[in-house]
């Protein structure tokens, strides 16, 4: 399988190392990045990986799949182009789909071009059982995120709470998944994944917590319905290069690629 990557920041660069290590049958044709970063990336990446600026050039390589890890604005700008070409798109910036216009544009493009929008589980597990519960009778879903102070710096959290003065874990935001994903695009991608896997953006409740003692990014899904109850907690280490992102996020992409490339896949 041949893939291309849009965005080569912390996650993109790590994927360029992880894919050859874990998936020898998957090759990376090229990465799309801003021209001012090309020289740096050529020094960091395997010489077989082309560093380019244009998504249309990337599509000329004929990838079976394009991985987006460039952020919400990039997904909005180039995601439809990828899908209209008939190429599947694996979306890391899943929080962008909280914007109804972006979601609608991607769905239209996928319909026109027959490319599929693929969503990795990201830092969170349990989306499979949540999806099953949706069909069995899902009534309420709450997602809670607990992260360190550093993870919330440079976000609207600084206007909601004094991050430097809290002494214990403190909830600073409660709302639905659409609000959370749009306010905190770098932190709340998981909330969007939970919403897409369950009862939708408007009905999914979200609580965001800042914790001065946190050493991990903790995610919890609580759900109830006719099927019974779900209570899932994951405490993942943050990505060393970006405290706003859990280390499991890029490895979730590896698992998605593995499922697509292997004969036997655990759905």
The residue to which tokens 């800042």 are assigned: 210
Residue of 22, 38, 135, 219 marked catalytic? 219
> pLDDT at position 123, please?
65
Domain boundaries, the chain: 2-121, 127-246
- When pLDDT is averaged across residues 216-228 and rounded to a whole number, the result is 93
DSSP string, 174-211: EEEHHHHHHH-TTT-HHHHHHHHHTT-TTT-EEEEEE-
Nearest to 243 by CA among 190, 188, 187: 187
Q: Which tens digits make up the pLDDT trace of 104-146? A: 999 999 999 999 999 987 767 778 899 999 999 999 999 999 9
Fold of 2-121: Rossmann fold (3.40.50)
> pLDDT at position 267, please?
66
Task: Considering the domain delimited by 127-246, tell me its CATH architecture.
Answer: 2-Layer Sandwich (3.30)
DSSP string, 208-233: EEE-TT-SSEEEEEEEEETTEEEEEE
Q: Which tens digits make up the pLDDT trace of 74-91? A: 999 999 999 999 999 999
Q: Is 219 a catalytic residue?
A: yes
- When pLDDT is averaged across residues 88-108 and rounded to a whole number, the result is 94
Q: Which tens digits make up the pLDDT trace of 39-76? A: 999 999 999 999 999 999 999 999 999 999 999 999 99
Q: Is the pTM of this model over 0.95?
A: no
End-to-end CA distance of the chain: 19
């Amino acid at each position: 399988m041949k893939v291309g990557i849009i965005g080569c920041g912390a996650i993109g660069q790590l994927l360029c190392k992880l894919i050859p290590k874990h998936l020898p049958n998957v090759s990376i044709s090229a990465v799309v990045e801003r021209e001012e970063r090309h020289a740096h990336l050529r020094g960091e990446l395997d010489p077989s990986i082309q560093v380019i600026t244009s998504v249309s050039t990337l599509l000329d390589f004929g990838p079976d799949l394009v991985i987006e890890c460039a952020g919400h604005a990039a997904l909005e700008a180039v995601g439809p182009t990828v899908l209209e070409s008939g190429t599947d798109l694996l979306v890391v910036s899943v929080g962008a789909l909280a914007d109804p216009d972006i979601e609608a544009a991607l769905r239209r493009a996928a319909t026109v071009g027959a490319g599929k929008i693929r969503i990795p589980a990201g830092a969170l597990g349990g989306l499979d059982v949540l999806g099953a519960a949706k069909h069995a009778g899902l009534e309420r879903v709450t997602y809670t995120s607990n992260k360190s102070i550093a993870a919330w710096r440079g976000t609207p959290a600084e206007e909601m709470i004094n991050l430097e003065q809290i002494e214990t874990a403190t909830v600073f935001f409660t709302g639905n998944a659409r609000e959370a994903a749009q306010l905190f695009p770098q932190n709340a991608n998981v909330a969007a994944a939970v919403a897409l896997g369950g009862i939708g953006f408007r009905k999914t409740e979200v609580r965001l917590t800042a914790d001065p003692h946190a050493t991990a990014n903790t995610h919890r899904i609580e759900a109830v319905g006719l099927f019974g109850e779900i209570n899932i907690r994951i405490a993942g280490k943050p990505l060393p290069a970006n405290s706003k992102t859990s280390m499991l996020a890029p490895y979730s992409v590896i698992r998605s690629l593995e499922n697509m490339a292997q004969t036997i896949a655990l759905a």
